[in-house]
Amino acid sequence: MAPAPDRFTRFVAIDWSGAKGHRHAGIAVAICAAGDAAPTLVAPPGASAWSRTAVLDWLIARRDEPLLAGFDFSFSAPFVARGAHLPGETDTRDALALWAYVDAHADDADLGAASFLEARRGRHFYLGAADGAKRDFLHWRVCEQADGTTKPSTVYDAIGAAQVAKASFAGMRLLHRLDDRIPVWPFDPLPDRGAAIVEIYTAIAARAAGLRRGISKLRDAGSLDAALRAFGSAPHAPLARYTDHATDALMTAAWLRHVVTRHDLWHPPTLTARIAATEGWTFGVA
C-alpha cells in the first residue's frame, strides 16, 4: 500500500556529496510542507556549508516527525548479478552489512569514503585508465537497469562529473550511523508514524518536470518555477545563487511531495524481497 495522503506532512530532498573535507558546498537540503507552498532551502546550522555529519544529526533530531527524506545517492552496490557487493572481498548478505563494512574500513573525515575507493581501485573501482578497461567495472543494480527514463551511473565508476561512487559510499556510512533510528525503505518497511528515508535520483524528477536529457539542470528562477509548477507547487522565493545543488534539491522536494501517494512507486513489480534486502531501490523507478 502507498502511504495515506496525510501520512507525511514534510518532504525533504538532499543533494549529496562525497567530496573530501569537513564542509561541502555540494550538499543542499530542501524542505516543503504538505500542500502547494514552494520548497525552501534549509540553512546549515552554524556554518556556511553543510557537513555530512550535520545532515545526519539534523535528521535524527526529526526522527519522530512525519517527514519523508530523500537522499540523492545509491544506497547499495550491485549484488544480484554477481552474488556479492565486492566480489572476492565481502561476504555481506544484505545492504545493512555492506554499510557496516564500509564504515568499519573508511576513516575519512566527516563520513567520507574516498580512501575506501582508492584502496580498491583497479580491483572494484575505476578511477582512471591505469585501472584497466572501464567496461570491466560497469555493473548495475536491478533498479538501475529498470530505470528507462534516465541513465544511472554505477557505483563502481569513480571518475568523471557524473560519477556517484564517492557520494554513495559516503552515504552508506551515514545510513549505518542512523543505527535503526529512522527506517530506510525498502530495507525497512514503511513505518506507521515518524520519519522515513528513501533513495532518490534528481534526474527522475527532472524528467517528470519535462526537462530533456542534457538540459536537466536549472540555473535561473524562471526554469526552477516552471519545474515546480509541473508538481503543483507555488513559485519559490528568490535565491542568492542558483546552483545545481540548490535547484536540484528544491525541485526534487516538490516532486517527492507530488508523487508520495503513488502505489506503483512503492510497489515496483520487479522489486523482490531479495533485491530489497541486498540492493535496495530508487524511489521513482516503477
55-110 pLDDT per residue, tens = 999 999 999 999 999 999 999 999 999 999 999 999 999 999 999 999 999 999 99
Residue 43 lies in a domain: yes
- Cα(47)–Cα(222) distance, rounded to whole angstroms? 29
Domain count, the chain: 1
Question: Who contacts 57 (Cβ-Cβ below 8 Å, separation ≥6)?
Answer: none
What's the pLDDT at 153? 87
What are the cell numbers at 154?
Answer: 554505477
Q: Identify whether 1 is part of a domain.
A: no
135-163: average pLDDT: 88
Residue in the structure block whose three cell numbers are 526522527: 63
Q: Whole-model pTM? A: 0.96
| % of the chain exceeding 90 in pLDDT | 91
Please give the residue range of the domain that contains residue 22: 7-286
In a domain, 2, yes or no: no
| pLDDT at 213 > cutoff 90 | no
215 pLDDT more than 70: no
Residue 286: pLDDT above 70? yes
With respect to residue 258, please indicate whether it lies within any of the assigned structural domains. Answer: yes
Cα–Cα distance measured from residue 200 to residue 105, given in angstroms and rounded to the nearest whole number:
26
State the Cα–Cα distance between residues 145 and 194, nearest whole angstrom.
31
- Domain-embedded: residue 24: yes
Does residue 241 lie within any of the structural domains?
yes
Q: Does residue 129 sit within a domain?
A: yes
Q: What is the pLDDT of residue 214?
A: 64
Whether 171 is covered by a domain: the verdict is yes
For residue range 15-33, what is the model confidence (pLDDT) as tens digits? 999 999 999 999 999 999 9
